[in-house]
Structure 1
Amino acid sequence: MSTIVVDVGKSGLRLRIRPGTAGLDSARTATVAGLDPARAALPGAGTELAAAVAAAWTSLSADACADAVETVVIGSTFIPQPWALADCEDRFRELWPSAEIVIVTDGALAHAAALGRVGTVASIGTGTVVLGLDAGGTLRQKDGWGPDLGDRGSALDLGRSGFQEACAALDGVACDTALVSLAERALGTPIDIPAAARLLAAPDRVPRLAAFATEICQAALDGDGTARALVRTAARWVADTCAAMAAEVGDTTVVTVGRLAGTPGYRQPLTEELSARGLVVQQPAASVLDVDSTLLAGPEYRRTAVFRAVTATRR
């Protein structure tokens, strides 16, 4: 099957053309800037999503194989309102005249790729979303509330907490920590009120906060007590959410995916916290860009699709 898979996150958008599409003998992957979910409810969000996907496609100079594409699967943390999703259709039809195009949440895509059966998948990157499939075929979700209401234990959550602890240390209300110098290096300037204002106003604020999580994890490995406590707290949040999901779906299997989940300094505390709750941690079956797209045609995942377009040539 000639397939394209797109993973739309807060920090980046990745598009992969599978081998075999239009005679390609190897996969081709493009990465462009991600999309802020906070903008997904605004007018023009559908156009914004389509433009980002089109930018990744165009960067591969792959127009010559567009007619050969049969299936496009887009898993997105950026989900426009239903009325705005229609704005995507015309642009997608221009890109892939003969393809069926499906948009699902990033969590549904992660679950299908990593497990594809009963159990729980925690996707821990810039944000956090936990999906669980029960024996009756119902796909459930916990967290995924976004940075203001949730994303517990995520890179954004951890990175923000690290900056907060650095500021608290400067105020003399928290222990001295290596996070102060690491935060100043991340900001490129000493920590002061103007620096905080610049970060708040920065268009790349979310990926910058999330990127700082990696520094915190390394500081934890290096023995910084504050960093270790922050990482452990983040891991506990995710483990508690997974335990609640496992209880609902009636299965203790858990798979963790996402950039932060695999980061040294985070992976071990997370595994320890999951195991302490009686959960059985398994390795992911595949990455999201290598998902078996036929799984998404099954009833468990098909009903989660927020948008499905079948082009005129395939109706």
Structure 2
Amino acid sequence: MTRADLILGIDGGGSKTVAWLASRDDPTESAVLGRGRSGAANMRTTDFASVTAHLHEAIGEAFQRAGIERDCVASACFALAGAGGPEEQARVQQWATGEVATKVTVTNDALPVLDAGTPEGWGIVIVSGTGSFAMARDRSGNLRRCGGWGPTLGDEGSGYAIALAGLRAAIRSFEQRGPTTSLLTRFLDAFELERPSGLISAVYREDARQRIAHHVPLVFTASREGDTVAREIVSRSANQLADLAIALAAQMDFGAEPIPLACSGGVLIHQAEFCQQLTAILRAKGVNCEPTTIVINPVAGTLQLASRA
């Protein structure tokens, strides 16, 4: 197999980067030749040197697992969080062209989800991982985006935002300026701390965002076990994600037919009840999303895009 036969699909988010190596003739998930993964590749929250290092690492591992000597492939698609603007895309394209692939496509991390998770490539995408955002494409190819403003300005309903809300509620509970919640004990156990004061050094670190988001399952577990504070956080977060899709549906020309919905990101993939809560809110507010698909491997969509480039 020569380099002209090979393509790469790379999906990079706020927590991890995944690279798949495949043949241009068969870019399906079942025929992937090699798979690699590494750290975060969010263009807005990770410095570019770290982004490219993680891309190199994931791509290198994909070649290694395929048993193929690393080379410049025919086509590669990079779907990276924070790479929705022309400046970020041009920077990645300049770095990758000629070194990673002859033909390089750079896009945000929503289009591959839309490609992999809707029957005809149009509909709404909601992503909730470390960050969050939504995107819509109508039958005419018109695109709109909502959310994705990063942890300072937005990311409502994301893993980071939910976990941070849980931590803040735990602290308010400890200081008796908020309702009692099991989240305090849960977070102390997760961080292996004896006292709440230890949370300061535990979270104020260089990798704070990823470290906090990693503990979002604690909030969902507490919610399922009846913690009213955690339930309120989860409910509010589901409504915030629904608001993104509702805003897009109002702006797009979808007509009266049901709108295909593709959901992805670690939160929506691993928290099935949360995803069901989200779609129930959409239905209650008049947005009929059918079918709804959970896209477990968005990188599969990047292979499809690379094969068509």
Q: Shorter-chain-normalised TM-score: which range?
A: 0.7 to 0.9
Farther-moved stretch of structure 1 (226-235 vs 173-182): 173-182
TM-score of the pair, normalised by structure 1? 0.81
Q: Let me know the Cα RMSD of the aligned residues.
A: 3.1
| Equivalent residue letter for 2:229 | T
Match of 2:200 in 1: 196
| Equivalent residue letter for 1:220 | S
Match of 2:283 in 1: 275
Counterpart among 262, 266, 284 of residue 259 in structure 1: 266
Cα-to-partner distance string for 1:277-310 (whole Å, 9 max, x where unaligned): 2222423385412117555798xxx9xxxxxxxx
Displacement of 1:113? 2.4
Displacement of 1:212? 1.8
| Equivalent residue letter for 1:153 | G
CA distance in 2, matches of 1:48, 1:84: 16
CA distance in 1, matches of 2:294, 2:172: 42
Displacement of 1:188? 1.8
Q: Residue 110 of structure 1: SS of its match in structure 2? A: helix
- Give the alignment of 1:1-315 within 5 angstroms: 2-18=6-22, 26-39=32-45, 45=48, 47-60=49-62, 61=64, 64-67=68-71, 69-79=73-83, 82=87, 85-86=90-91, 89-90=94-95, 92-96=97-101, 99-115=102-118, 117-200=121-204, 202-251=205-254, 252-253=258-259, 254-262=261-269, 263-279=271-287, 280-284=289-293, 287-291=297-301, 293=303
Farther-moved stretch of structure 1 (27-36 vs 132-141): 27-36
Could you list the runs of 5+ residues in structure 2 that have no partner in the other structure?
Answer: none
TM-score of the pair, normalised by structure 2? 0.82
CA distance in 2, matches of 1:26, 1:255: 22
Could you list the runs of 5+ residues in structure 1 that have no partner in the other structure?
Answer: 303-315
| Aligned residue pairs, count | 292
The 8 Å contact of residues 11 and 206 in structure 1, kept in 2 or not, is answered as no
Match of 1:308 in 2: none
Match of 1:309 in 2: none
Q: Residue 105 of structure 2: SS of its match in structure 1? A: strand
Displacement of 1:28? 2.2
Farther-moved stretch of structure 1 (133-142 vs 277-286): 277-286
| Equivalent residue letter for 2:125 | V
Cα-to-partner distance string for 1:55-97 (whole Å, 9 max, x where unaligned): 112224258354583221110014398289447635552344x
The 8 Å contact of residues 239 and 274 in structure 1, kept in 2 or not, is answered as yes
The 8 Å contact of residues 128 and 154 in structure 1, kept in 2 or not, is answered as yes
Displacement of 1:223? 1.4
Q: 1:83 to 1:159 in 2, by over 3 A?
A: closer
Q: 1:9 to 1:271 in 2, by over 3 A?
A: same
